[in-house]
Chains A and B, each alone.
Chain A
Amino acid sequence: MIDRMNRKEKNPGEVSRRAVIQSAAFVPLAALLASAQPTPQAALSPAQMKTLVAFIDRLIPHDELGPGAVESGAQIYIDRVLAGPNANEKASFIQGLDALDALAQRVQGAPLAELSAEKRDQVLDAMIDTPFFNRARRLTLEGMFSDPYYGGNKNFAGWDLIRYPGPRPAVAAEDQALNVDVKPYRVSAYGIKYGH
């Protein structure tokens, strides 16, 4: 299972974006925004990426439980899938981001990325029943909790948050015991170069 493939998904922007997420850990939102610029191959424009980052930063914020969605690179995952396997939802996703900024402008007087955390939370509450909230949240969860191979879950922050012990090559009976803490096994299913 270890290090056996990297051929299924050729992504020209991969190297530079990985460098981007590696630079993004544990820093304030402004710096996150600066470092989250997509490569030219990506789906989202810099302005759209800014809105997305401001949004997912409140969905899963950095706090005492550890990194949030942005430090984990969930936006990298989202940008990448919208440019690739999920390209058919790219247009509707971008419409959703535009609508999100319009809502922020209407109820709080500024685009989402320019609002305080508290005001952004109020915008999220106001749109929580929309299909876009649901879909963007789902993609954020995919980014934060998928194998780091896909660009998110940096340093396994997502898996640490939910205490998922990781895809072991073989699992012993004691690793399946009730109510025990299993020692995390922190290696990507695609090999150590994708995270370990």
Chain B
Amino acid sequence: MATKLKPVDVAVIGLGAAGGVAVLPLARAGLKVAGIEAGTWMDPHRDFHADEVYNNVRRLVSSSPKAQRECPTVRATPSDQARSAGVHPMMNAIGGTSIHYWAQSWRLKPWDFRTRSESIRRYGPGSIPAGSTLEDWPLTYDDLEPYYDIIEQEVGVSGKAGNIQGRIDSSGNVFEGPRQREYPMPPLRGAGFTDHMMDAARQLGWKPFRPPAAINSQTYRGRASCVFHGYCSAGGCHVGAKNSTATTTIPDAVRTKNLTIFDKAQVTRIIDDSNGRVTGVNYIRDRKEYFQPAKIVLLAGYTYENSRLLLLSKSKAYPNGLSNNHGQVGRHYFGHWTSNVSALFPYDLNVWYGLPAQGATVDEWADDSFDHAGLGFIGGASLHVYTERHPIDAAAMNTYGRAPLFGSAWKKFVHENAGRVASTYLQTNTFPYETTFLDLDTEVRDPLGDPVCRITSGGVRQNEQRALQHAQSKMEEWFRAAGAIEITKPPAIGPGISTHAAGGTRMGDNLETNVVDRWGFSHEAPNLGVLGASVMGSSGARNPTLTLQALAWRTAEYLVKNWKSLAG
């Protein structure tokens, strides 16, 4: 029998990118918050290293053992056998995936919130991808703008505004929605290569810019600025310049004395009463089971775990899983379609140092920045080139048919060319589909005996595939303009498992098609909120973290303002 703990006002499940920001407005408002996290504090001195084997080969920062034992399985269709996806960088740690992410901190575009109605208006009803369950978001960009601003300030984001209250500045992203003010820090400095790519984009008539990042470009609130040493990707920052929630909002919340962190605590079920209200959570810590009573529960795990925990939490009121009486938990899931185009140049790029967020980005071919009439798809992809190249990865380079794979001729080739390759990150507007969803696996279980999450990818999506191929051709054009002599374009194939996983507990006004309402609270269990990318209804052509953090803050603020009615 679980040991019953002292009741709290709010139990937050998971102190990652989402839960880690939501605790701050709650704690500041004087609510007693229990932050229940399966991992614990990471120690920058002990755990973070400028080392490719440690970060990228063995993935010792980004592959928490517990999370790996809960790694989802993947299948294309329900008639296929689902197989374990192997590893995934979802985290058990205070700070979660924001410990090791690239820290690219984008706002979505106004169009992303109204994609369905805007596409129908501009291109007709036939433009909505067949089989898609895309809805307009229940809020607009303008509704979320104040919260984007809060996160940029509280977490700390470097960048250059392209649109302040309608005033356009072409040194920022001219395609972004209007912002109330400038970023709190200037953008990260450019590298020789990214500056060169900016010049090449301008020659094409495009408007490149330095992208926003939750990386300190200067000392910010007492935290150090980036040292550009080249081991940011999949690693933690040992100088504290990467603004994970572990170094920003969580310590701020702890200082209020209203947040108590229960670390190494694995939540197994969310508990509800006969009226369908949640009463708290069960968790296991050090092999003992506890029940943490709470007036409000905020579920803030990774996308896969949010759906899984709801589906596992069955009760009389919710026989098919918590908040799933309309069968929507796990639906409207999508893994972000992304791709790389790489290029070989005839001179040294010197991109060894830096970080993936030190880049040059082009937004001409994303979202609805261009006319899609006759193209056969909506959306597109952002084009992003960046620095940070590691020696093993560099030596393992494609030889482009110019050298054999071994011997002295190979040595000569890599001696000349290992430092002459550039990679890209193309992120495609990705939409939910009827046949792409999450549920519980019927065979694979975690060490506690609970089924892991199962992804049904639904296979190739023509809309996203065309959008990505279009973006790849634009990326090739950009590289050629910059002087590239070889280009490789991998096939545009949708993901099974994804590091940009979203949906499964979608936010929307219609309770027949959405799990949470426009504020992030369950349509069915009124004192249960859900935080994270799992509430997003479309991806945008960019990294999701800033958006899910803005949504999490907004949900927490709504809770504070409506405490009496929500807490009952």
Contacts and interface: CB of A to CB of B under 8 A. Distances in A.
Interface of A: 1, 4-5, 7-8, 58-61, 63, 65, 85, 121, 124, 128, 137-138, 141-142, 144-147, 149-150, 158-159, 161-165, 167-171, 173, 175-182, 189-190
A177 B412 CA distance: 23
Given A61-B408, A169-B229, A178-B192, A162 B51 contact: no
Interface in B354-370: 354
Contacts of B415: 65, 161-163
B51 A141 contact: no
B121 to A, nearest CB: 44
Given A61-B411, A65-B412, 15 more contacts: A4-B45, A7-B46, A8-B46, A59-B407, A60-B410, A65-B411, A128-B405, A142-B53, A146-B51, A161-B395, A161-B415, A162-B419, A171-B227, A178-B348, A178-B350
B228 interface: yes
B521 to A, nearest CB: 43
B254 interface: no
A182 B353 CA distance: 11
Contact of A60 (B46, B53, B349, B411): B411
Judged by DSSP, the binding face of A is loop
Interface in B229-246: 229-231, 238
Contacts of A61: 407-408, 411
A95 to B, nearest CB: 21
27 contacts: A8-B54, A59-B406, A65-B408, A85-B58, A141-B395, A141-B396, A142-B53, A145-B392, A145-B394, A146-B52, A146-B57, A146-B392, A158-B395, A159-B391, A162-B414, A162-B419, A167-B51, A168-B353, A176-B387, A177-B191, A178-B196, A179-B347, A179-B349, A182-B350, A182-B352, A189-B49, A189-B51
Contact of B394 (A63, A147, A162): A162
A130 to B, nearest CB: 12
Contact of A146 (B53, B229, B414): B53
A63 B391 contact: no
Given A5-B49, A142-B57, A178-B196, A164 B353 contact: no
B29 interface: no
B24 interface: no
Contact of A147 (B51, B191, B195, B411): B51
Contacts of B231: 167, 189
Contacts of A146: 51-53, 57, 391-392
A8 to B, nearest CB: 8
A159 to B, nearest CB: 6
Interface of B: 45-46, 49-54, 57-58, 60, 189, 191-193, 195-196, 227-231, 238, 347-354, 387, 391-392, 394-396, 405-408, 410-412, 414-415, 418-419
Nearest to A150: B53
Contacts of B405: 128, 137
Contacts of A163: 348, 415, 418-419
A32 to B, nearest CB: 17
Contact of A170 (B193, B195, B228): B228
Contacts of B227: 169-171
Given A1-B238, A4-B45, A176 B350 contact: yes
Given A58-B406, A60-B406, A177 B350 contact: yes
A171 B419 CA distance: 17
A61 B410 CA distance: 10
A110 to B, nearest CB: 20
Nearest to A156: B391
Given A145-B391, A158-B391, A170 B229 contact: yes
Contact of B230 (A162, A167, A173): A167
Closest 3 CB pairs of A and B: A178-B192, A162-B418, A176-B191
Contact of B192 (A144, A150, A176): A176
A144 B392 CA distance: 8
Contacts of A180: 192, 348, 350
Contacts of A171: 227-230, 353-354
Contacts of B45: 4-5
A178 B349 contact: yes
A164 B350 contact: no
A173 B189 contact: yes
Contacts of A60: 406, 410-411
B395 A145 contact: yes
A196 B396 CA distance: 24
B401 to A, nearest CB: 14
Contacts of A121: 407
Contact of B406 (A137, A138, A182): A137
A144 B410 CA distance: 14
Contacts of B351: 176
Contacts of A7: 46
B407 A164 contact: no
A177 to B, nearest CB: 4
Nearest to B44: A4
A127 B284 CA distance: 51
Nearest to B58: A85
A179 B192 contact: yes
Contacts of B51: 146-147, 149, 167, 189-190
Contact of A142 (B353, B392, B411): B392
Contacts of A170: 227-229
Contacts of A1: 49-50, 229, 238
B186 to A, nearest CB: 14
Contacts of B411: 60-61, 63, 65, 161
Contact of A164 (B347, B387, B412, B418): B418
Contacts of B54: 8
Contacts of A168: 229, 353
Contacts of B354: 171, 176
Nearest to A64: B408
| Listed residue (B57, B196, B238, B347) with the most chain A CB atoms within 10 angstroms of its CB | B57
A4 B391 CA distance: 22
Nearest to A153: B391
Nearest to A60: B411
Contacts of B238: 1
